[in-house]
Amino acid sequence: MFNKKPKSADFLVVGLGNPGKKYELTRHNIGFMALDSLMSSISVDKKMKKWEGELYFSKLNGKNIIFLKPLTFMNLSGNCVSAVMNFYKIPIENIIVISDDISLSVGKIRIRRSGSHGGHNGLRDIILKIGSDNFKRIKIGVGERTNPDYDLADWVLSRFKSDEISLLQEKFSCLPQTISLIADGKIDEAMSKFNG
């Protein structure tokens, strides 16, 4: 596994969300939820708090991977991602960001090689701070607003219902294999298998 003070890593997997109990199980926090589920199914060697984030160090299929939860609040996620990427010398194309997507039904997964922020403020800030949109994404559906007049901010900060949480836990089970395939350069296979 990693030594006590790792100096580099092969991949950075970022789960986006907002810190604090107030935001637990909200739609915007699906990145945190997915990362927790992913890490519960693999061996995590070390945890560290630095650069306004929580870093977890692991090894998957021979690759050194850092799992990251930025604790800067969603709109400033890029500060933490940029700091970790630069310190551990991780290429932009080896960053995988897990985020919520309101255009997808709950639990639906959409893997992308790169792309615009699509109006997502966390992705927007990461692109701004690292100077590129050439990183992988795993978008997880949180469902569209139940009413078009529903304020978007209120919707993404609303909590999942219990049946939705059960569905998400089931969908999260594919994440270890998804990350493994992407890390092995098999993103097309990951997209074919898991894009809903």
Spell out the long-range contacts of 148-157 with Cβ–Cβ below 8 A and sequence spacing 24 or more.
Answer: 152/102, 155/27, 155/102, 156/26, 156/27, 156/28, 156/100, 156/102, 157/23, 157/26, 157/27, 157/28
Residue 130: name the closest of 93, 89, 78 by CA: 78
Query: Active-site residue among 11, 14, 15, 28?
Result: 28
Alpha carbons 17 and 25: distance in angstroms, whole number: 10
Alpha carbons 70 and 133: distance in angstroms, whole number: 18
Spell out the long-range contacts of 112-120 with Cβ–Cβ below 8 A and sequence spacing 24 or more.
Answer: 112/136, 112/137, 112/139, 113/187
Calculate the CA 19 to chain-centre distance.
14
28 annotated active-site: yes
Q: Is the CB of residue 34 less than 8 Å from the CB of residue 153? A: no
Alpha carbons 79 and 67: distance in angstroms, whole number: 16
- The residues carrying an active-site annotation are 28
